[in-house]
Amino acid sequence: MAPAAVPRHVAVIMDGNGRWAKARGKPVVMGHRAGAEAVRRCVKAALSTGIRFLTLYAFSSENWKRNTGEVADLTSLLRFYLRHKVAELHEQNVRLEFIGDLTRFDDGLRAEIDRARTLTARNGRMTLILALSYGARQDMVMAARRLAEAAMRGEIDPARMTEEEFGDLLQTSAFPDPDLIVRTSGEQRLSNFLLWESAYTELAFVDVLWPDFDESHFAALIADYAGRERRFGKRPDPDGAL
């Protein structure tokens, strides 16, 4: 495969843990545990493919509306993985970053997040971005608020605002826009994920529940991406090159 056809940034909506557990007559938390194993497979596959940025949607702003037991299970699973698995990511030269409203998590989880970020800050092979308590609309509202405040202080002229300046205020500003967004479980929606950043992102919906996701699914997605034509609104060149 030509190197240019490998997406630089892949983002994944990891969906289907609940249905996976239900199909086995197990409690939902077992689905989330199995989902955490799928994360490891996905990271491994991304590393071997040469992906530079991998964003994983692990917990949405709206997921706080689930019952307190499930929220507690999810946060303790996150804490466990951050505490025990970050060393392995560090050895693999992976940098960990986080997007979302982390202030909603307890001190213990926030401390693990800070530790993971600090430990891996200088790693350069791949950036793994975990979206936790993340909602794209909330991020955009925060950006709009900061802009309005700056305008009221007379620091910026609203009439001269550019897309770049708005994008710079989002939590994702340090990362390129995703080239490919994947959602598992057969659902075909974005559920408040990277709405600004996905303006020209290729979308892929796969009919596999997240805990069953493995390297072969990842490879198939990358192969499919390689055959797509991205136009960004332009007329494709008749000779094939954009």
Pick what 34 binds: Mg ion, ligand IPE, none; C-beta below 5 to 8 Å, kind-dependent: none
Q: How far is the CB of 148 from ligand IPE (least distance, A)?
A: 29
Q: How far is the CB of 15 from Mg ion (least distance, A)?
A: 4
Set 17, 63, 157, 212: catalytic member:
63
Q: If we measure between CA atoms, which residue out of 5, 38, 36, 48 comes closest to residue 180? A: 5
Closer to Mg ion by Cβ: residue 186 or 236: 186
Closer to Mg ion by Cβ: residue 49 or 184: 184
Cα separation, 166 vs 155, in Å, equals: 15
Q: Active site includes 63?
A: yes
Binding mask 2-21 for Mg ion (x = CB under 5 A): -------------x------
Please spell the DSSP secondary structure of 48-99, one letter per residue. Answer: HHT-SEEEEEEEEGGGGGS-HHHHHHHHHHHHHHHHHHHHHHHHTTEEEEEE
Helix %, strand %, coil % of the chain (to 5):
50, 15, 35
Which helix (H) or strand (E) segment holds residue 129: the answer is strand 126-134
User: Measured at the alpha carbon of residue 135, what is the angle toward residues 179 and 61, in degrees to the nearest 5?
Assistant: 140
Binding site for ligand IPE (CB under 6 A): 13-19, 57-60, 63, 74, 185, 187, 189, 191, 210
Q: How far is the CB of 211 from Mg ion (least distance, A)?
A: 12
Q: How far is the CB of 15 from ligand IPE (least distance, A)?
A: 5
Pick what 49 binds: ligand IPE, Mg ion, none; C-beta below 5 to 8 Å, kind-dependent: none
Q: If we measure between CA atoms, which residue out of 136, 120, 233, 227 comes closest to residue 177? A: 136
What does the binding site for Mg ion look like in residue numbers (CB under 5 A)?
15
Active site residues: 15, 63
